[in-house]
A = this chain, B = another copy of it.
Amino acid sequence: MSKLTKVILSEKDAPTHWYNINADLPALGVELPPPLHPGTLEPIGPEALAPLFPMELIMQEVSTERYIEIPEPVQEVYRLWRPTPLFRAHRWEKALDTPAKIYYKYEGVSPSGSHKPNTSVAQAYYNAQEGTKRITTETGAGQWGSALSFACQLFGLECKVYMVKVSYEQKPYRRVLMETWGAEVIPSPSVLTNAGRAILDKDPDTTGSLGIAISEAVEEAATRDDTKYSLGSVLNHVLLHQTIIGQEVIKQLEMFDAGWPDVVVGCTGGGSNFAGFFYPFLAAQIDEGKKTRIVAVEPAASPSLTRGKYAYDFGDTGQMTPLMKMHTLGHDFVPAPIHAGGLRYHGMSPQISAVLDARLIEARNTTQLPMFGACKSFVQAEGILPAPEAGHAVWGAMGEALACKESGEAQTIVFNLCGHGHFDLSAYDAYHAGKLEDYEYPDEKVAASLEALPLIT
């Protein structure tokens, strides 16, 4: 009898609803502080977001309905790659010589190569429904920009992507991919916006950051009537759209007859792939009392959950967004140029920040050399090449597996491999050549950044 390697649900077993954790936060003992207007410091209402987002997404942002139906045109596009596979890592378990059972959800089968289209397709759909003609956004490594370009193409929208300059230079193929789906790609900071010009005046050689790119994209959307803005992580509605990941995983674990996992592991930048992966496990905790350890892994160069402060801060460098209470390194944080470009964000989703504050999850960090070491071990056993972002989850899962080797426990570990590294091979090349540096965020910089936080507690 052959061992099952993977389970893929049929299209008819795909989730039809997104799971909205807002409905369950009280039951989980989590308080989610509201976003504040940066001038009045009063909680902002949905109408304040109307220049940036279509009304349906704003309603999802504040909704407390537990399940929100996925529109059929969105489900139809999901079927181009979903449901995605869940693998049992038989070969990697053997290579690590661990008694642990390791499973991984693989979101890299999407056209753009990560979990990001789960939300970009929904966002493009609602924008198209409400008459938006153009969408602006920012992208770090290019995963989000690719996903939005793909989605805009399908729904007939123009797409303009401000891409963090260091990634624009490190990952030229990502630009071409976005252009293949019809998008315009601009290295950020650019001279096209006030926010970009202000940064370039101060530091012409800046490598850019997600915070700066967000400012540029938001500014353009806020100043043009035909244009809305789209965010690839952080906000409630974005995390909501990702919850199909965890819903599928739970069904797939049943088909594997795997039992309930001891620990689930994901990587975090703004938090969306991680949230989409673990929220349904919290729902099961409420409904059925099933518990699991939940572990977030972030880069040591951008350690918002592990070393940031839980405080109100701007979502962007240019101070254009509402204030959100979140784990933050300060909105003027400019991270070291690590290859996990998608994780180099100063803040964290307010939902995940609140969930961490309530101690429902754990967080840890790693520098990039050990992370690439874990990826190398994984790719040699399983074949799939992880993106450096996803590599943080690989590193986290490997740590759990090696702890099991130490203790002799046959735990069940599940992690989210949120994207492939086909566009990150220059990073692997540098790693093989011994040219990659480890970056850790220095204590004095943590302190200095946090001084710049707005004084709201």
Contact = CB atoms under 8 A, between A and B. Distances in A.
A129 interface: no
Interface string A369-385: 00000001001101111
* Number of chain A interface residues as a range: 35 or more
Nearest to A108: B109
Interface in A172-193: 172-173, 176-177, 179-182
A291 interface: no
Contacts of A110: 383
A423 interface: yes
B111 A181 contact: no
A426 interface: yes
A380 B425 CA distance: 25
Contacts of A154: 91, 383
A197 interface: no
Given A2-B72, A383-B150, A180 B432 contact: yes
A254 interface: no
Contacts of A379: 180-181
A79 B382 CA distance: 11
A177 B81 CA distance: 24
Contact of A3 (B5, B76, B423): B76
A80 interface: yes
A380 B153 contact: yes
A339 to B, nearest CB: 13
Contact of A79 (B6, B10, B75, B109): B6
Contacts of A177: 385, 425, 428
Contact of A382 (B10, B80, B376): B80
A380 B426 contact: no
Which one of A2, A153, A384 has the greatest number of beta carbons of chain B within 10 Å? Answer: A2
Given A179-B432, A432-B180, A5 B383 contact: no
B380 A182 contact: yes
A92 to B, nearest CB: 11
A2 B82 CA distance: 14
Contacts of A97: none
A423 B173 CA distance: 8
Contact of A385 (B2, B76, B180, B429): B180
Interface string A69-92: 000100110011100000100110
Given A8-B8, A150-B383, A181-B379, A176 B111 contact: no
B6 A176 contact: no
A56 B79 CA distance: 41
Given A8-B8, A384-B111, A176 B432 contact: yes
A426 B80 CA distance: 25
29 contacts: A2-B11, A2-B12, A2-B72, A2-B75, A2-B76, A3-B76, A5-B80, A6-B79, A6-B80, A8-B10, A80-B87, A80-B382, A80-B384, A81-B383, A111-B382, A111-B383, A111-B384, A150-B383, A153-B380, A154-B383, A172-B425, A176-B426, A176-B432, A177-B425, A177-B428, A179-B429, A180-B376, A180-B432, A181-B380
Interface of A: 2-6, 8, 10-12, 72, 75-76, 79-81, 87, 90-91, 109-113, 150, 153-154, 172-173, 176-177, 179-182, 376, 379-380, 382-385, 422-423, 425-426, 428-429, 432
